[in-house]
Amino acid sequence: MEEQVDTVSSYINFCVDSIIPSKTVTIFPINKPWITKELNKKKKRIFFTGSESEKKEVNREVKRAIKTAKLKYKNMVEEKFTQGNLRLAWQGLKTMAAVNIATTNHKPIQVAGSSSTSLPDDLNTFYTWFEMDNSTQIAETLSSLEHGGTTLIFKTDEVVRALRRTRENSSPGPDNISGRVLRLCAEQLGGVFQTLFQRSMDTGTVPQLWKHSTVIPIP
């Protein structure tokens, strides 16, 4: 059972990586210290001016202003280095290179009833609670199975309908299978997952991969 689940997950990820193109997007910060309010206003004028000639002129003006501001900032960093103020000089270099600078006024998250060391475990316990609405349904299902002696049967069309209700923008779990793949490929994956679900029910075992989840709490 464990090998089957791992094989199916690996094969789905292989198909996704082979078919769906991917690219790396590099994001450059725009909040450089030499970008002043005046420069921002000039940059906005490029998008709102009427004629093409005026846009080109404003664009050239902004480029000249940015070049002058960069040179001024570089001279300031060099001056700090010459004066022996290495801390400010190093911060200036990291700012120019778009390297994150740790803030000195960082305050830890404080939650009533939790300490800084127990907070991760407390959050994990909170976000892995079972919903109260499901407990009654689970109890009724277990009761019917125990007294009636029947086995729960999964149908392929039911699995397909469940997959089609998956949210496309939901985050993938530890198996790295996105909700978009489950929703759009419900017809192709329905029979595969029906077999896995039915085998799990018949053998009374749950694969380890299905017992894990990725929880990212947002304070």
Tens of pLDDT, residue by residue over 105-127, are 556 667 777 787 787 787 777 76
Which of 10-14, 101-105, 157-161 comes out lowest in average pLDDT?
101-105
**What pLDDT was estimated at residue 215?**
76
Q: Decide which of 133 and 182 is more confident.
A: 182
User: Above pLDDT 70, what percent of the chain?
Assistant: 69
Nearest-angstrom CA–CA distance, 164 and 184: 7
Q: What's the token pair of residue 122? A: 């407390």
**What pLDDT was estimated at residue 27?**
56
Name the pLDDT band for 95 (thresholds 50, 70, 90).
Answer: confident
Name the pLDDT band for 195 (thresholds 50, 70, 90).
Answer: very high
Say if residues 90 and 102 touch (Cβ distance below 8 Å): no
Mean pLDDT value across residues 85-92:
81
- In a 3-state reduction of DSSP, which class is residue 190? helix
Q: Look over the chain and give the mean of its residue pLDDT values, rounded to a whole number.
A: 76
**What pLDDT was estimated at residue 56?**
77
**What pLDDT was estimated at residue 212?**
82
Task: Give just the sign of the alpha carbon dihedral 89, 94, 98, 101.
Answer: negative
**What pLDDT was estimated at residue 211?**
82
pTM of the model: 0.44
32-72 pLDDT per residue, tens: 666 667 767 766 766 666 667 777 777 787 788 888 888 88
Report long-range pairs for 183-191 (Cβ below 8 Å, ≥24 apart): 186/160, 186/161, 187/160, 189/12, 189/163, 190/156, 190/157, 190/159, 190/160, 190/163, 191/156, 191/159
